[in-house]
Structure 1
């Protein structure tokens, strides 16, 4: 069985997410939702008959709560802004790998959505496997490995474990990669993402990320605060498109740095 684990705060796209799960061609799954939001979200969850944990919490701890209440052999870390293609679970269930990186398709028509998609395509199609693992993260885990990763994070972060918003996903993979190096990459986009369509939306999110990363200072994960990533290869898109991707990095990076240091 696959456990689909979803933290929710706003619920704007949750109907689409839950409907995409219910419509899967593979039906051996459970859904665990940690609701840090409203009663309306609870009402929607009840309509689908999925498991709800009602608790106001930060992102890493919400993922932990969802996983600790799961029963599946494999876990899919989903978000309220990401819905599944019809055969996503069928494909994932057939691979039997410890961890799987899944390519994504951005949903929307703004210039920033298009640049975000080009960025994702370049990561998946232009970089070698080891580099992809540095820029994209697994969403599908063997549950035993995910449990051990959470145990390590809880032990090492101590009280700060409850305060992490970003880099929740990177921290999970960091500990999971110590347990297993069996990571597969699915290049077909089985996850669809409602991304940020305006500069303001991007700036707000990445400023929040920059503030959140301060939490790891003074912990065993302090390297995440200062790590400089290698430049990813870009081989897709026209010259103008590629300039636009670097523009996206700038629009993300400036508010991130402001949040991180101010």
Structure 2
């Protein structure tokens, strides 16, 4: 049994998904509440989550995010099904939790949050928050879990081109970087621009070659990715003059990604 309102620990696990350290320092009630949330995680006593979320000083978004990240879909649904009408920050809290679920590959938890209204009034949340989280570099789960989350968010109406992203970095760039072939295929089949460009001109094909993601490069070429679109690099990779466009094959050669070079050369021979 958890005894709530304990003193805050020095290393509260819940803070990873919660309010800032500054907010915690300013508000002793929040600090104690976060300590209790940490106890729930450590003791696996998730049945106490609903009670903890009922406290007037509760950071409900933190609690939902932690439950989502741990894949506690049953307890998550129990909380979200009862709080909607009385939570003024409902949309924000739900979006926080959904991002945590997407970033952790928790398909079932993500499905619960989508059913209870994530982004129902703002499809941009699906695009720029959830789809981005499914493909992000920090994604914590395996490729299969990532693919299922990408599929779920796309089926919920997300735009594969994720128009809300800043500076042009798209889910397809992220999937190419981490060699996530399943995500690449689903995004392209859902309408993602195969040659979409980052602010410095990097295409997903360029990113794949830059990071040595040969399977990504092969998959992108299968869908018709261009090899003639270069990017402007702001640091010298020994590829010629700084700020001059560099082609995908050039960056693969310069960074010694031999398999990527072989994939490109095979494609060029077939032309």
Q: Which of the five TM-score ranges fits, normalised by the shorter chain?
A: under 0.3
Task: Report the structure, 1 or 2, having the larger strand content.
Answer: 1
Task: Report the structure, 1 or 2, having the larger helix content.
Answer: 2
TM-score relative to the length of structure 1: 0.28
Structure number with greater CO (CA < 8 Å, separation at least 6) is: 1
Which of structures 1 and 2 has the bigger CA Rg?
A: 2
